[in-house]
Amino acid sequence: MSQSSPSQPDAGGAGSVFAIVAPSGAGKTSLVRAMLQARPNLALSVSFTTRAPRPGEVDGVDYRFIGTDEFHRRRDAGEFLEWAQVHGNFYATSRTWIAERVAAGRDIVLEIDWQGAVQVQSLMPEVVGIFIAPPSVATLRERLVARGTDSADVIARRVAAARTELAQAHRFDYLVINEHFDRALAELLGLVDAAALRFARQRSRHPALFRDLFGEPDAPAVSS
């Protein structure tokens, strides 16, 4: 279950926000890492979570790991743009962190579940929603098995969850099918580059140019 924070962040800055959703095994994490390397202006929103770190995960890099009591305190204080309870653990996106960086012109990537992404879209209609899908359910299962980190029962649950998540893909603006990694990455980067050219984003970046070209001395930014 996902919930939204009551306060909407200011979306009038020069940055864009990308909500990227995918079922486990679709390759989202690898694609997002490659996106961040290819586009230095992109910043990954590091979610808060109450789950324990997995081997190799670093606090503040992969997630911000906090206790349940602190999570509830931050949630009740309105610090989260959205939060969700998934498989018994809580996850959340920082509202203030995103608003500050968007206002400063940074582009932000959110790696969140589909419910959280829908909540963010309701608060920030200009968010670019992207769903990453595998070429088939069979391929997704093969990728989960190849990881070698989960039991057969866990893989079966993840595949069942993936079918539920795939049924929500129509909620998003764009669908990227990750059959060939390089092609999927190029498509994602194309979406990032196109978002930078949206009218509202250009207006925020070039106010003097807009005054000269369009005679809009104090025109408020509009959502794209």
Which helix (H) or strand (E) element contains residue 128? strand 128-133
**pLDDT per residue as tens digits for the range 100-131:** 899 888 999 998 889 889 989 988 889 999 99
Domain with 68, as residue range(s), is: 7-201
**pLDDT per residue as tens digits for the range 125-173:** 899 999 999 999 999 999 999 988 888 999 999 999 999 999 999 999 9
- The domain that contains 81 carries what CATH number? 3.40.50.300
Name the DSSP class of 198: S
Residue 220 domain-assigned (yes or no): no
Residue 71 domain-assigned (yes or no): yes
Residue 72 domain-assigned (yes or no): yes
How are beta strands 89-94 and 48-49 bridged, if at all? Answer: antiparallel
How are beta strands 128-133 and 174-177 bridged, if at all? Answer: parallel
Residue 64 domain-assigned (yes or no): yes
What lies within 8 Å, CB to CB, of 40 at 6+ separation is none
- Give me the half-sphere count of Cα atoms (radius 13 Å) on the Cβ side of residue 41: 15
| Cα(29)–Cα(108) distance, integer angstroms | 15
Residue 209 domain-assigned (yes or no): no
Dihedral, CA atoms, 44, 133, 190, 116, nearest 10 degrees? -40
Instruction: Extract the tokens encoding 139.
Output: 């391929």
How are beta strands 64-65 and 80-86 bridged, if at all? Answer: unpaired
Residue 213 domain-assigned (yes or no): no
Looking at the structure of the chain, the number of domains it has is: 1
Residue 174 domain-assigned (yes or no): yes
- Burial letters 121-143, b for 16+ CB under 10 A, else e: bebbebbbbbbbbbeeeeebbeb
Q: What is the pTM of this model?
A: 0.81
Q: Is 17 helix (H, G, I), strand (E, B) or coil?
A: strand
**pLDDT per residue as tens digits for the range 41-75:** 999 998 999 999 988 999 988 899 999 999 999 99
Q: How would DSSP label each residue in 134-195? A: -S-HHHHHHHHHHH--S-HHHHHHHHHHHHHHHTTGGGSSEEEE-SSHHHHHHHHHHHHHHH
